[in-house]
Amino acid sequence: MKKPVTIRFSTSGPQAYLIRFTPGSKGLWGDFRFIVDEPVRTADWWVVLDNVVEKQTTQCPPENTLLITHETENIKRYDQKFIDQFNWVITCQRDMKHPRKIYTQQAHLWHVGWFGSGSGVDPKERKNLLVTYDKLSAITQIEKTGLLANVTSYKSRTSGQAMRREFLGKVKEHFGNRFHMFGAGIEHIRDKWDGIAPYRYYLAIDNSYIEDYWTSNLADAYLGGAYPIYYGHPSVFNYFSKDALTLIDIHDVEESIKTIEKVVQENYYEKHLKDIWEARRLVLDKYNIFALIADTIASLPQGNTPRQITLNPEYKPVFKKRLIEIINKVPLLNVVAKKIHHAYRGKLVGAAAEEEKKQEQWLHYLKKVEEDKKNKFASHEL
């Protein structure tokens, strides 16, 4: 029997019981055995997802180290010293400086079946409720009772998030109660599945328009068996059939709404049901984070001589601790630091209040749109 390749898989924090993405939740994928976020004395490969939470050490061939980035350049630029620790990098960031970059999708983690902190589910029960790879794979059909939906949040910290919020408001204004919106600050649902699975069409809007970058916004749509109407980079067609989704440009609201109407009126969901389910299979079995790692490692040259390797996190909390110690020892620095901190906190409180006010205004706007649509239909019936 062939010995499995042992992979130490380190992440930037608890990743919603990540092992659930593997068959039987056993951490095995083909000939590869994954040890997730646990100390490992010796490994054949060491893979890091985005960052490590603390300084870590393992015996591993230095050639067999791989970083997977999860952010675009307009959100985050990774520290060069951190990147240089790895022999390979899977990324969408074209400007990143590294001699061995692999440009491909980054297997963003699914959100369906994940009961996070905002779900309202008791933390002790979350692990028992998580939807696993096996459960998702066993599903062969999904009943649809609704038309069009989107799960999002009110966040507007980036230009992409603000634009998404504005676009969704316009779509709601046009479609009224044919379009259902869910998420934090809008309409609460425990699981993202509940905002996708009952609907034939799903508005999947990514915050960045970057080659080889698509996220759980699209993956979750397929897992819920919906036909995605998608805003993102056209390179998505390197991964899915052109019959499995329709692209829109949220910068052009009028044209996007025409496209959505066309998709609905011409029954794209029914026409492309086989394409949706094939895309769903790809999300589960090819673009899964464990499949991505296994396929990538199988295609790369292997180092065979283990050495003790130490990886440091991108931002060292030790530096922050040391800085605080220095400030506390110097009275003048301590006074200045407190004034800066109080001013900063004041700005945060003010910004939070302003954001809450905007959220209330937006929710009031959505409610008014809904009421106007109902009144319009009622007057037609009369």
Looking at residue 114, its pLDDT comes to 72
Closest CA relative to residue 179, chosen from 115, 263, 251: 263
Looking at residue 74, its pLDDT comes to 85
Half-sphere CA count of 224, side-chain side, radius 13 A: 34
Q: Consecutive sets of 10 residues in the chain, 382 residues long: mean pLDDT of each?
A: 88 77 95 94 97 94 97 90 97 97 96 66 61 94 97 68 84 94 80 95 94 96 98 97 97 96 98 98 98 98 96 71 68 72 55 51 57 56 50
Looking at residue 213, its pLDDT comes to 97
Whether residue 245 contacts residue 229, with contact meaning beta carbons closer than 8 Å, is answered with: yes
What is the pTM (predicted TM-score) of this model?
0.82
- The DSSP secondary structure of 315-364, one letter per residue, reads S-HHHHHHHHHHHHHSHHHHHHHHHHHHHHHHHHHHHHHHHHHHHHHHHH
Looking at residue 352, its pLDDT comes to 46
Looking at residue 348, its pLDDT comes to 46
User: Which helix or strand (DSSP H or E) is residue 380 part of?
Assistant: helix 331-381
Looking at residue 49, its pLDDT comes to 96
Residue 176 φ/ψ, nearest 5 degrees: 55, -130
SS3 category, 11: strand
User: Which helix or strand (DSSP H or E) is residue 173 part of?
Assistant: helix 159-175
Cα–Cα distance list, 192 to 116, 129, 197, 211, 216 (Å): 10, 13, 9, 26, 11
How many degrees, rounded to 5, is the angle at CA 274 between CA 272 and CA 275?
A: 65
